[in-house]
Amino acid sequence: MRSAVVSTRWAFLTRPDGERDLIDELGPSANAEKLDLAVVTSAVRPRGPDQTLEGLAFARQAMRLVHRISASDVETLAKQAARALNRQLARRPEGWAFQLVTPEGRDARDEAVRTAEALQEPLRARILAQLSRPVRDAQVSASDPGVRWLLQVWVLKKTDTLVGLTPAQDALSCLAGGRAVLERDPEAPSRSGLKLEEAIDWVGIGPQAGDLCADLGAAPGGWSKVAVDRGAKVIAIDPARIKISLPSRRFTHIQESAFDFAPPETLDWLLCDMAWRPLEVAQLIAKWGRRAWAHQLIANFKLPMKRKAEMLRRVLTILKRAGWQGLRARQLYYDRDEVTVFAWLDPTLTQRGAKEPFQFRSRSGERSQPRARRAPRSRPRPSAEEKPGARTKPSKQAKPHARTKPSKQAKPDARTKPSKQAKPDARTKPSKQAKPGAQTKTSKQATFGSRRKLDTKTNRTRDRDS
């Protein structure tokens, strides 16, 4: 039996395949390492801008370690855990809640799961029996707003258990193991709506009655249904078909690419669950921020690459530079290879209004409203023919100065191969009817000058000619 005090370290729960991402996110200074499946430990407490652990995206829940206990049986383990927790709680009789979990990735037949089930009630009873009345009376539910401390027990194996006492604000989640258990709506077209519901519970705010939302990448309609069910009006943008029927007075479907859409007015919420490359989606959302098209954001970024932490940092940097503030990122329980991001826009930007007209563009033209055209100029622009010095592209007919390949009917000055009917001055091969002294090809009817020469010759020549 061994009980080791490790109060200087922190432990984190993550996805079964997310240990590497969490270690990368913690950085080299944290001296982080994988302790077990879905469990990572760190030598130092990571500090965010608000001095909490909210900056961690790939951790489900955090624990400030008090003891790492190994025991040969359940009863001995319960006694050791109760003694350690009672010693810590005696100095802090504030609102506390008890949690006992098994990290993810273990099925019901795993010995850790069976140990946790057997340990649940004995450990709880042992703790309560050994606490003073003020401490016992301070016990609350983990979901109670007055909870200040979490007494956490993580069962890794039958003989290996982590025990910790953690401030609720540093635990990342007051849910056991950071797992949200939500009931799926039987009318929902997919499980994607659970991601939005969990995100709303995580940030504590979401679309409500009277809000106007845009849902980018809406198909098959899971996120739109959640927002409509909460009373909001939704403009769904996706070329694909929405697989559910929603009330038309609070739902509009624009079958267009999200990259070609601009909202009709300033919106309360931008919802985005696009199955697209994360940097391109980040640039799209950044455009919404620069143009002040929405007040608040909940977006889901797909991260199928191996180095998810580095890609997430690049995405958040793009959003921050575009004016989005209060950025929070978390790989929630219903997220797979993806991360949910929440942000809000600087109120000074939204009060100033959008930087571009509020019209959405549509290739089909049926649902879109055309953008306002500019007023015509008082002095019309002259055409290319009217401009005296305008340099225009010459047409195919009659280009006076164009250097083109001459046609068969060459121009007077063109140097081309003479045709059979040559001009009088052309030097060509004389024909069979040509006279002995002629240098050019002549016709049978000689010219006036040549006939005069024939008259002055001998009778023999004249007789032959006649």
Closest CA to 208 of 235, 231, 233: 231
The full DSSP string for 90-151 is: TT--S-EEEEEE--SS--TTSHHHHHHHHHHHHHHHHHHHHS-HHHHHTB--TTSTT--EEE
CB 322 within 8 A of CB 341: no
Between the alpha carbon of residue 374 and those of residues 371, 378, 447, the distances in Å are 9, 12, 74
CA 355 and chain centroid, separation: 22
Tell me if residue 364 falls in helix, strand or coil: coil
Closest CA to 73 of 163, 159, 152: 159
Between the alpha carbon of residue 440 and those of residues 205, 255, 422, 434, the distances in Å are 103, 80, 10, 8
Separation CA 72–CA 82 (nearest Å): 16
CB 135 within 8 A of CB 93: yes
Closest CA to 177 of 252, 112, 99: 99
Tell me if residue 11 falls in helix, strand or coil: strand
Q: Kind and range of the H or E element at 69?
A: strand 61-70
Q: Which residue out of 195, 302, 308, 441 is catalytically annotated?
A: 302
Q: Work out the number of other CB atoms within 10 angstroms of the CB of residue 371.
A: 13
Separation CA 447–CA 9 (nearest Å): 121
Separation CA 4–CA 293 (nearest Å): 55
302 is catalytic: yes
Q: Work out the number of other CB atoms within 10 angstroms of the CB of residue 446.
A: 15
Burial (0-12, 13-18, 19+ Cβ within 10 Å), 181? exposed
Separation CA 422–CA 296 (nearest Å): 86
Enzyme catalytic residues? 302
